[in-house]
Amino acid sequence: MLHSVQQVDHGSKSIEYKLSFADRKTLGIKVLPDGLVSVIAPIDANLIDINNKIKLKANWILKQQAFFCSYKPNTPTRKFVNGETHLYLGKQYKLQIIEDTINEIKIYRGAMIIKSKKTNPEYLEKKLNEWYKEKAILYFEELLNSSLEKFNKFKIEKPILEIRLMQKRWGSCTKSGKIILNTELIKAPKGSIGYVIIHELCHLIHHNHNKDFYNLQNRLSPDWKKWKEKLEQTLS
């Protein structure tokens, strides 16, 4: 399918979109998770009419882009030195680096203590990321199991859970039903992690962010907006 990149102005903002044509009767507009706008138009549609329809949907498009943007991780760069604060389950801990013959990371009295044979930042970053991943595997799995109880009436099978670093999203649900969670979520408040998991589980029922999706999310997680806001505040 051939496509071109077009642009329309809406007030002080511009909306760039990828336009393609297909054998269909109506104009299809979709905002993708990375913020890109995809437009599929009928073969006989002209550009002026297409742009006019894009302008009519401009507020919705910008709202969707803002939603996906807020859902992206934006954690600051760390130097891995003594006294630097690091997050775990929504709380700040001061890094305490101790050169030792053993390798160990633990939380104790407001400190994140790293005992390590090597104390260079690159090595400490690697060990801390491994620790975060271990904690994420245990906690996300536990929270997924408890969250699934809210979906009993839908009789869905437990999805495969994958945990890995992602640059643009906190979580996703694939068409095959696998849920992927960003390792960085382990730094967020517990309620925010729960919000993301419920959000992705809702996609097993409704794949798109339509009215039915939000009705379900509101019913199963009435305070999701609060936890979404806390997620943005904590990891931004």
Are 50 and 130 contained in the same domain?
A: no
Are 39 and 113 contained in the same domain?
A: no
Are 100 and 165 contained in the same domain?
A: yes
**Does position 236 have pLDDT exceeding 70, yes or no?**
no
With respect to residue 76, please indicate whether it lies within any of the assigned structural domains. Answer: no
The pLDDT of residue 103:
92
Q: Pick from 129, 78, 106: which is nearest to 235 by CA? A: 78
Q: Which residues contact 195 (CB under 8 A, 6 or more apart)?
A: 221, 224, 227, 228, 231
With respect to residue 165, please indicate whether it lies within any of the assigned structural domains. Answer: yes
Average predicted confidence (pLDDT) for the chain = 91
With respect to residue 77, please indicate whether it lies within any of the assigned structural domains. Answer: no
The pLDDT of residue 72:
60
Higher pLDDT among residues 14 and 182, named by residue: 182
With respect to residue 121, please indicate whether it lies within any of the assigned structural domains. Answer: yes
Are 92 and 188 contained in the same domain?
A: yes
Q: Pick from 227, 138, 231: which is nearest to 185 by CA? A: 231
**Does position 93 have pLDDT exceeding 70, yes or no?**
yes
Residue identified by tokens 């005992």 is 115
Could you tell me the CATH number of the domain that includes residue 230? 3.30.2010.10
With respect to residue 75, please indicate whether it lies within any of the assigned structural domains. Answer: no
How many CB atoms sit inside 10 A of residue 189's CB?
18
With respect to residue 80, please indicate whether it lies within any of the assigned structural domains. Answer: no
Radius of gyration of the chain (CA): 22
**Does position 102 have pLDDT exceeding 80, yes or no?**
yes
Are 197 and 96 contained in the same domain?
A: yes
Q: What is the domain count for the chain?
A: 2
Are 89 and 63 contained in the same domain?
A: no
Q: Which amino acid is at 189?
A: P
Residue identified by tokens 């891995």 is 80
Contact predicate 212/169, CB 8 Å: no
With respect to residue 130, please indicate whether it lies within any of the assigned structural domains. Answer: yes
Domain of residue 18: give its range.
Answer: 3-70
- The rounded percent of the chain whose pLDDT value lies above 90 is 75
pLDDT single digits (tens) 15-74: 999 999 988 999 999 988 778 899 999 999 999 999 999 999 999 999 888 877 766 665
Average pLDDT value for residue range 113-139 = 96
Are 107 and 63 contained in the same domain?
A: no
**Domain end point (choices 70, 94, 110):** 70
Burial category of 114 from C-beta neighbours within 10 Å (exposed 0-12, middle 13-18, buried 19 and up): buried
What residue spans of 33-172 are helical by DSSP H?
Answer: 47-56, 58-70, 121-148
pLDDT single digits (tens) 163-213: 999 988 899 999 899 999 999 999 999 999 999 999 999 999 999 889 999
The helix-helix angle for 121-148 and 190-202 (nearest 10°) equals: 60
Collapsing DSSP states into helix, strand and coil, what is residue 16? strand
Are 23 and 130 contained in the same domain?
A: no
The pLDDT of residue 168:
81
Contact predicate 6/51, CB 8 Å: yes
Are 64 and 89 contained in the same domain?
A: no
Q: Which amino acid is at 1?
A: M
Are 128 and 230 contained in the same domain?
A: yes
User: Tokens for 68?
Assistant: 């996906």
Are 56 and 151 contained in the same domain?
A: no
Are 35 and 142 contained in the same domain?
A: no
